[in-house]
Structure 1
Amino acid sequence: MKNNTDTLTQIPEPSLSRFLFADTRMNIFWTLLRVWLGWTWLTAGWGKLTNPAGVWVGDKAGTALTGFLQGALTKTDGDHPEVSGWYASFIQNVALPNATFFSFMVAYGELFVGTALILGLFTGIAAFFGGVMNANFLFAGTLSTNPLLLIAAVGLMLAWRVAGQWGLDRILLPLIGVPGAPGKLFEPPASKPKTPAV
């Protein structure tokens, strides 16, 4: 019989979500999704880095992003604006004045997220930052493939334990660990047993 001080601190994970997001039999699905999403980000970032006009990271850096953001500001009118007022304020007061900086962040962010996802390197974190970029594009009123990419990123964030198993996470995560469970590199040194005094 349990006493009154025993409380439920964790709700057991349903078997379906355990199978989808934590079962190694799902490796092939999550690996294919991870590589596809990574390739999508990598090609988008590479296209910005190698843009011959230099409007993302070249001598005209920020030009393309400025045009994109100004276009987003035109979507703030009407009964059902595509861009919310709070995001329009962010665009006007933060993003536009720093368009060159954000241009580099977008181009290199897409490249790094894509590379990390393809390699299976910190898969959950890479998917999170990819999802943040998708959310920002959606907030700016750009539908395109962003909803699909965001859904894929959320799936990879939930399945991070197995999504990178066929990648570098298989090697790195046991070494560095995860929050609450340090890896081999960060384990406290084992204390030597004390020898009794004679």
Structure 2
Amino acid sequence: MFIEFLRTNRYVSYVLAIIRLYLGIQWMKAGWGKIVSGNFDAAGFMQGALKQVSGSHPAVQPWWGVFLKELALPNIELFNTLVPWGEFLVGISLILGLFTSFSVLMGLTMNFAYMFSGAVSTNPQMIILGIFILIAGINAGKVGADRWVIHRLFPEKKSVEYMAKSA
């Protein structure tokens, strides 16, 4: 019942737009700060996470430590590009309401990656808000560019037809 409410209520789309704007600004600022500083390096963060893998109750799970040690750190230059640009583009996309579901999914993926690495910060609140947007689906982008773009890309989708008629 609540999920259907999130997905179909016309007024909820405005609340979701506010949440989307908030998340978008947070992501955009985080990414832009890393881009303009020109010296972003995720290696220290990842090495710090690896230090938290040991002990009887590790803050970072061993399987995630293997990922960081074997995949992420050897490819640190790729991650040093993906992280700031990923944050920035997720932010812009959420602000515009463009490809909202995909963007929030990518934002949630980053939030979980940071939490897996032992950084709590604002990630839990961003995850909760992001989940509302993700569950709402097309309704979360109704007050945004998705209203026109998704309708043009996928005219056969009934949910998009509903979106176009109900706004």
In the superposition, the TM-score normalised over structure 2's length comes to: 0.90
Task: Tell me how far apart the structure 1 counterparts of residues 87 and 3 of structure 2 sit (CA, whole Å).
Answer: 29
Kindly provide the amino acid, as one letter, of the partner of residue 142 in structure 2. Q
Q: Which has the larger radius of gyration?
A: 1
Aligned-residue CA RMSD (Å) = 1.7
Q: In the TM superposition, what whole-angstrom CA distance separates every residue of 1:84-142 from its partner, at most 9, and x where no partner exists?
A: 11100000000001111111000100010000000000101000000000010011011
Pick aligned residue for 1:135 from 109, 112, 118: 112
- The structure with the largest helix share of the pair is 2
Q: Which runs of 5+ in 1 are unaligned?
A: 1-13, 57-63, 185-198
After TM superposition, the structure 1 = structure 2 runs for residues 30-179 of structure 1, keeping only pairs within 5 Å, are: 30-51=16-37, 54-56=38-40, 64-177=41-154
In the TM superposition, structure 1's runs of 4+ consecutive aligned residues that sit over 4 Å from their partners are none
Question: How many aligned residue pairs are there?
Answer: 160
Q: In the TM superposition, what whole-angstrom CA distance separates every residue of 1:43-65 from its partner, at most 9, and x where no partner exists?
A: 000000011xx222xxxxxxx20
Q: Name the counterpart of 1:181.
A: 157
State the percentage of identical aligned residues. 36
Q: In the TM superposition, what whole-angstrom CA distance separates every residue of 1:138-190 from its partner, at most 9, and x where no partner exists?
A: 11011101111111111111112211111100101111118x73989xxxxxx
Q: Name the counterpart of 1:196.
A: none
Q: Which runs of 5+ in 2 are unaligned?
A: 162-167
Q: Equivalent residue of 2:134, what SS?
A: helix
Q: Equivalent residue of 2:48, what SS?
A: helix
